[in-house]
Amino acid sequence: MIRLGVAALLNETPDMRVVGEGGLGADALRLLANTGAHLVLMGQTLPDIDSVKVVESLRQLSPPPRVLLLTATHQPDVLKRAIEAGAQGALLKTGTAEQLLQGIRQACSGRRVLPHETAALANGGAVPNGSAGMGGDLTQRERQLLELMAQGLSNQHIASQLCIAKPTVKFHVTNILSKLHADNRTEAVLTALRHKLVVLT
């Protein structure tokens, strides 16, 4: 049911296309040989094979696909091993459609995908950056942008410093404002400072 729902969502998204699906780890290896997919979205727990072994095998392909895990259970040891094996990260099955699509895009661009809850699993239960509340769902890239925003850099300067496109910066800033419940950049920075998400030096 989850696989069918995710496939339907992705096929309805203009910049994504499902080229194959299956319920076993062996299916991923077989499909990759025939489709050359850019990303494999797979369950953290598979019925036929250790998911970490699948990640290792997929990363041996040329070119290797990005691998993103979907998890619903607290198995920090499996997630840690998968990331060490080359997985781009993980998303929670309880996340929203927007979080799923954003996570896939981040993974395809080569960025680590560890939402707040999943990052805690990967760290053995420890909450990243010491914040379980406001800003806890900021991605690593968003925190990086937030630090630059706090330094007073414009979108153009942030784009130049991070070597990314200006529209990408705007996309991240919009996400940051939403996650910090801020109406503008100044309010977002003040919120970040108040919750010690960034520190000015």
pLDDT digits (tens, 9 = 90+) for 71-122: 876 566 777 788 888 888 888 877 778 888 888 998 888 777 875 544 544 4
- The Cα 63–Cα 163 span in angstroms is 24
Q: Would you say residue 67 has pLDDT above 70?
A: yes
Instruction: Please say whether the beta carbons of 83 and 56 come within 8 A.
Output: no
Q: 100: which residues sit within 8 A by CB, 6+ positions away? A: 6, 9, 91
| Omega within 30 of 0 (cis) for the link into 63 | yes
Structural domain of 156? 140-194
| CATH number of the domain bearing residue 67 | 3.40.50.2300
Domain boundary among 96, 126, 156: 126
More confident residue, 48 or 70: 70
- Residue 133 falls inside a structural domain: no
Q: Is residue 134 part of a domain?
A: no
The answer to whether residue 130 scores a pLDDT higher than 50 is: no
Predicted pLDDT at 160: 92
Name residues whose C-beta falls within 8 Å of residue 71's C-beta, 6 or more positions apart in sequence: 43, 44, 45, 79, 90, 91, 92, 93, 118, 121
Specify whether 148 is located in the same domain as 89. no
pLDDT band of 149, cuts 50, 70, 90: very high
- Does the residue 121 lie in any domain? yes
| The last residue of a domain, from among 91, 126, 161 | 126
At 16-40, the pLDDT tens digits run: 989 888 777 777 777 776 777 889 8
